[in-house]
Amino acid sequence: LPSDFKKALPVLEEIEKAGFEAYFVGGSVRDHILGLPIHDVDIATSAYPEEIKTIFNRTIDTGIQHGTVTVLFEEDSYEITTFRTESGYQDFRRPDSVTFVRSLEDDLKRRDFTINALAVDRNGRVIDKFDGLADLNKRVIRAVGKAEERFHEDALRMMRAVRFQSQLGFTVEAETAIAIKDNAHLLNKIAIERIREEFIKLMLGKSWQIGFSDFLNLDLFEYCPSFNDQKSNLEKLLKLDDKSFVDEQSAWTAIGYVMDLEPNQFNKMLRDWKVSNKSREISVATDKMLKQFKSGNFDIWDIYCLGVSNFDRVKSLCQLFRIEFDDDTLTQKVVNIPIESSHDLAITGNDVIKILGIKPGPEIGKYMSDLEHKVVEGNVYNNFDKLREYLLSK
Ligand code: ATP
Ligand code: MG
């Protein structure tokens, strides 16, 4: 057992001592078998949430209705979820009701893909009811049971398929792929926030071009904001070097770039995807800077105005799109910009009034802006005496 599981063993043992079953399940089992680093160890159990709460002292009711209790154990926390089945799914998204069950197999059956339906017991034995190990070996993503039915139950699973593809570099098994293509329109039933979350994981995955290619070929893109008539533009992304995006904003900018969107169209696309305001602002500034680099018509002041923090992202996008610029010289200049905003100037408007003996008014703003330019462009040091000297020399 890997160390993360070993640390959690006492938790399994406590549950078993109380007379219930408990297993490691989900992503951590899959990633452990693949030899990948694991994050959050999830546990499934035959004990009901109330029973779990009597076994452990420190618990949090994370999602009692769905059977999930978080147990704080030593310095770690574990999500412990009661075996359950789901039924209903009238609206193609969530189950109408969740039923707790005492059988592991029933719980594994409701999981999305065979590679996610594995469990590991306290002795490291793998419980594999749906040939998940064989699929891990073949590197395929296959729905548990009838793919068509599983996507009718929850259409988000189709986005999860291409997301895991991107993260793992797997292919989607043929029948599962056909079911995605046939049912892609059901994505319309899913909240955009949930689609976006999977889409971003897809774009940031190590093998994103594999996942993105099926996102296009299996028609999922058609049911995503701003994408529906953009297939040929979006395909341009598949011709680029298969290098990972450094962050969400880089991915969005690259998408806006191949779609050749104006800044206001790009902004609207991000609003439609309900990207956070912060992330949207960064993406829009990155997009503007990238286009300045492409036109070759920009200076150090432009970079400062759009945010020096976007510079590295733009540099890696330039590499991706083979946009050339004098990297060394420019990087040197950008690194040497001594301030982030006018607030960092070593002089204030009041100082200007005193030094020049003038009255408060709009003129002060002009002096300050001139000083800001001089400092950013490296012509005057950001030091009170130097700025004062410069003011007096004018
Ligand atoms: P990650 O490494 O991204 O956390 P994960 O496989 O753990 O991947 P989660 O979204 O954390 O994915 O879900 C945990 C487990 O719950 C999955 O492995 C899967 O067994 C099950 N699961 C999650 N979402 C669904 C869903 N929409 N339908 C069916 N099963 C699901
Ligand atoms: Mg997980």
Q: Which pTM does this prediction carry?
A: 0.92
Measured CA to CA, the distance from residue 304 to residue 34 in angstroms comes to: 44
- Looking at residue 97, its pLDDT comes to 73
Where does the pLDDT of residue 89 fall: very low under 50, low under 70, confident under 90, or very high at 90 and above? low
Assess whether pLDDT exceeds 70 at residue 92.
no
Q: Between residues 281 and 64, which one has the greater pLDDT?
A: 281
The CA 46 to ligand 2 mean position distance, Å, reads 20
Burial of 193 (0-12, 13-18, 19+ CB in 10 A): exposed
CA atoms within 13 A on the CB side of 299: 5
Cα–Cα distance for residue pair 171/191, rounded to 1 Å: 26
Neighbours of ion ligand 2 (CB under 5 A): 27
Torsion of CA 271, 276, 279, 281, to 10 degrees: 50
User: How far is residue 27's CA from residue 136's CA, in Å, rounded to a whole number?
Assistant: 12
pLDDT of residue 327: 83
Q: What percent of the chain has pLDDT over 90?
A: 91
Phi, psi dihedrals of residue 173, rounded to the nearest 5°: -60, 150
Among 86-90, 162-166, 263-267, 369-373, whose mean pLDDT is lowest? 86-90
Mean pLDDT of the chain: 95
pLDDT on residue 1: 84
- How buried is 393 (Cβ within 10 angstroms: 0-12 exposed, 13-18 middle, 19+ buried)? exposed
pLDDT tens figures, 38-54 = 989 999 999 999 999 99
Q: 141-190, pLDDT tens digit by residue?
A: 999 999 999 999 999 999 999 999 999 999 999 999 999 999 999 999 99
* Inter-CA distances, 313 with 175, 202, 239, Å: 39, 19, 20
Residue 31 Cα: closest atom of ligand 1: 2
Residue 169 is predicted with a pLDDT of 98
Q: Is residue 4 part of an annotated ligand binding site?
A: no
Q: Are strands 126-128 and 118-120 parallel, antiparallel or unpaired?
A: antiparallel
Angle at 274 between CA 315 and CA 252, to 5 degrees: 20
**Half-sphere exposure of residue 183: CA atoms within 13 angstroms, side-chain side:** 24
Mention every residue, 6+ apart, whose C-beta is less than 8 A from residue 194: 156, 159
Please give the full DSSP string across 46-73, using - where no structure is assigned. Answer: SS-HHHHHHH-SSEEEEEGGGTEEEEEE
Cα of 27 from ligand 2 centre, angstroms: 5
Q: Name which residue sits closest to atom 5 of ligand 1, judged by CA.
A: 27
Question: What count of other Cβ atoms lies within 10 Å of the Cβ of residue 88?
Answer: 11
Q: How big is the CA angle at 102 (ends 30 and 150), to the nearest 5 degrees?
A: 55
160 labelled ligand-binding:
yes
Rounded (to 5) percent helix, strand, coil in the chain: 55, 10, 30
- Ligand showing the shortest atom-to-Cα distance for residue 132: 1
Between the CA of 60 and the centroid of ligand 1 the distance, in Å, is: 20
CA angle 138-144-146, nearest 5°? 115
Residue 154 labelled as part of a binding site = yes
Cβ atoms of 235 and 189 within 8 Å: the answer is: no
User: Residue 254 class from Cβ within 10 Å (0-12 exposed, 13-18 middle, 19+ buried)?
Assistant: buried
Residue 355 CB: number of other CB atoms within 10 A? 16
**Cα 201 to ligand 1 centroid, rounded to whole Å:** 13
Atom of ligand 1 nearest to the CA of 201: 3
Q: 129 pLDDT exceeds 60? A: yes
Instruction: Identify the helix (H) or strand (E) that includes residue 85.
Output: strand 84-87
CB atoms within 10 A of CB 50: 10
- Of the ligands numbered here, which is closest to the C-alpha atom of 190? 1
pLDDT of residue 96: 63
> Is it the case that residue 90 has pLDDT exceeding 90?
no
Residue 65 pLDDT more than 90?
no
Which residue, by CA, sits nearest to atom 6 of ligand 1?
27
Give mean pLDDT, residues 212-238. 98
163 marked as part of a ligand binding site: yes
Taking the C-alpha atoms of residue 112 and residue 120, their distance in angstroms, rounded to an integer, is 17
What residue owns the CA closest to ligand 1's atom 11? 27
- Give the closest ligand to the alpha carbon of residue 116: 1
With cut-offs at 50, 70 and 90, classify the pLDDT of residue 343.
very high
Ligand 1 pocket mutation, candidates 41, 116, 156, criterion most atoms within 8 A of CB: 116
* Predicted pLDDT at 269: 98
- Site residues for ligand 1, CB cut-off 6 Å: 26-27, 42, 111-112, 116-117, 154, 156-157
- Pick from 83, 94, 109, 112 the residue to mutate for probing ligand 1's pocket: most ligand atoms within 8 Å of its CB: 112
Q: Per the structure block, which two tokens stand in for 164? A: 């895991």
Ligand 1 centre distance from Cα of residue 304 (Å): 42
Closest CA to 83 of 113, 119, 58, 124: 119
Please give the distance, rounded to the nearest whole angstrom, from the Cα atom of residue 72 to the centre of ligand 2. 17
Q: Tell me the per-residue pLDDT of 99-121, one tens digit each, with 9 for 90 and over.
A: 899 899 999 999 999 999 999 99
Residue 110's pLDDT is 95
